[in-house]
Amino acid sequence: MTRRKFHNRGASSDLPGLSGERRTRRLQGGGMKRGGLLRLLLAAVVIPLLTAGCFLRSDRADGDPFQGRDRSGPMTLEVLNDHFNDARIYTLWNGNRRRIGTVIGKTQESFEIPVGHGDLRVQVDFIAAGGFTTDPITVWPGEVVQLVIPSASRGRLIPRSLE
């Protein structure tokens, strides 16, 4: 077994770059200093406290952070009809179509509807004209969503607020 020295106390002519000059390389060691012990103690106390704080913080009454958000309850759909024709409004939840009501041309109506499973799509059917279906949007109970029906183009859903 060959033992290596990590410091050179004298000149060595057989090593390149050490001809006549003294080069020393020493390893630090010999135990933990006071600053290192303080850091270790601080880390041993702070990390478990932060980890426990993450698990204890919860917006849920039952404290289960892995349970999905409750999607039962009503939401509000505000429809602003800038089109001249009257519009029949339907909701589409996972392909299930339900009539919500009628919005007369150039008026605004507000509907409170139950939140279904999946994303909401709204279908607008103009009386004596065509219609359109909006892109899907995720909504939650208590949320207010505004549907703007412009005079000549396709409407869009705009989430307004979460109460």
pLDDT at 8: 45
pLDDT at 62: 56
CB 139, CB 111: distance < 8 Å: no
Residue 91 above 80 pLDDT?
yes
Please, what is the Cα angle at 32 between 28 and 36, to 5 degrees? 105
Distances (CA, A) of 138 to 21, 162, 163: 75, 12, 15
pLDDT at 145: 94
pLDDT digits (tens, 9 = 90+) for 48-78: 777 776 666 555 555 555 566 666 789 999 9
| Domain spans in the chain, listed from the N-terminal domain onward | 74-162
pLDDT, average across residues 9-22: 50
pLDDT digits (tens, 9 = 90+) for 25-48: 454 555 556 667 777 777 777 777
| Position with higher pLDDT, 110 vs 42 | 110
Residue 163 above 60 pLDDT?
no
Query: What CATH superfamily is the domain 74-162?
Result: Domain of unknown function DUF5300 (2.60.40.2890)
* Among candidate residues 53, 47, 134, 54, the one with its CA nearest the CA of residue 87: 134
pLDDT at 74: 92
